[in-house]
Amino acid sequence: MQVEPEAKKKRPGVLKSTKHPELHLGLDITILVGTMTGTAQLVAQELELRLDDGDTAARAVLMDNLNADAIEPGKLYLICSSTYGQGDVPDNAKQLYESLQSERPDLSTVSYGVIALGDRTYHDTFCNGGRRFDRILSELGARRIGEILLHDASAGTMPEEVAAEWIDGWVALCREQIGEQHLEQCLDENQELGRLLAQ
């Protein structure tokens, strides 16, 4: 049976400079945490502290008792999930996952990223907890930003350190892609306003 490793002592991670500093966009990120032993929660708490810098607000929320309506339109989410059993989502994430499957809300205005924790010893189900969330969110129209971060417990690296090195690049992509989306929306609104004024 696949179980995420116990949480280890935190050590400082590294943040890199943003790719496009000219695109200055405040972000509000909700980190949804699926965990069995607390490792994913530790990763989320580490990121919450690092991201809360004035320009970016981050809030870690355990998936316990959440339903599909917890995924709000127009919001940005970071899924941080371990893998349990035969490639399943953790117990505290099952209600949210099953609710998304059954209710199938329109998530076309939602953006998200995924941190998936697993162990390559279980090759066929490696990081399936996070991958399952990625599949259902994509099916429901949400847009993933960047690649999934796949952490391998058997590699001997600490997941919170790996995530800390990854997160700044992901945030830069969020600023770039969401900023471009906002710009396109503003241009569309201006064009529509111009048409109305010309009538």
pLDDT tens, 14-44?
333 334 444 445 789 999 999 999 999 999 9
Query: What is the model's pLDDT at position 55?
Result: 81
Please give the Cα distance from 58 to 66 (Å, whole number): 18
**Is the pLDDT higher at 188 or at 166?**
166
Q: How confident is the model at residue 96 (pLDDT cuts 50, 70, 90)?
A: very high
pTM over 0.85: no
CA dist., res. 154 & res. 157, Å (int): 8
User: Would the pLDDT of 57 be above 80?
Assistant: yes
Residues 6+ apart with CB under 8 A from 24: 55, 175
Radius of gyration of the chain (CA): 18
pLDDT at 19: 40
pLDDT value at position 184? 54
- Whether 192 has a pLDDT exceeding 60, the answer reads no
The encoded tokens of residue 198 equal 């010309």
Query: To which H or E segment does residue 32 belong?
Result: strand 27-34
Question: Residue 183 pLDDT > 70, yes or no?
Answer: no
Q: Which position has the token pair 């599909």?
A: 68
Per-residue pLDDT, averaged over 133-162, amounts to: 96
Tokens (6 digits) for 45: 């708490």
pLDDT greater at residue 196 or residue 57: 57
Residue spans per domain, the chain: 27-198
Is the Cβ–Cβ distance between 146 and 170 less than 8 Å?
A: yes
The single residue listed with the structure tokens 């069995």 is 36
pLDDT surpassing 90 at residue 117? yes
CATH 3.40.50.300 fits 27-198, yes or no: no
Beta-carbon count within 10 A of 193 CB: 10
pLDDT of residue 20: 40
pLDDT surpasses 90 at 186: no
Q: How far is CA 30 from CA 9, 71, 84, in A?
A: 24, 10, 23
What's the pLDDT band for 7 if we cut at 50, 70, 90? Answer: very low
